[in-house]
Amino acid sequence: MTEFSSEEKTILVQYGIKKFENEEIIVEKLKSVLSEKDIQRTIDTLLGTQRVRRIGPEILENNESHTELPELPDNLKPIIDNL
């Protein structure tokens, strides 16, 4: 597994949320690049900082009215495209 900075992990999870919304699917898709523990920790951090909101028991949504989605770095684009 590639080592990502905490900012890169955050960006990967936010774009995973944008693409899938269902928490279970997001975790399943991202497990190929991040550990499940890292994914859950990042989701918890995003919820705590209100960059992501929960709109149902399993549905997550980027809180784009509160904060903009960060720009996707070139090194992470292929990962998001392949999810």
Closest by Cα among 3, 5, 4, 15 to 51 = 15
The pTM score is 0.93
pLDDT of residue 1: 61
pLDDT of residue 24: 97
- How would you write the pLDDT of the chain (83 residues) with one tens digit per residue? 679 999 999 999 999 999 999 999 999 999 999 999 999 999 999 999 999 999 989 999 999 888 889 999 999 999 999 99
Residue type at 44?
A: D
What is the DSSP secondary-structure string of 9-60?
HHHHHHHHHHHH-BHHHHHHHHTTTS-HHHHHHHHHHHHHTTSEEE-SSSBE
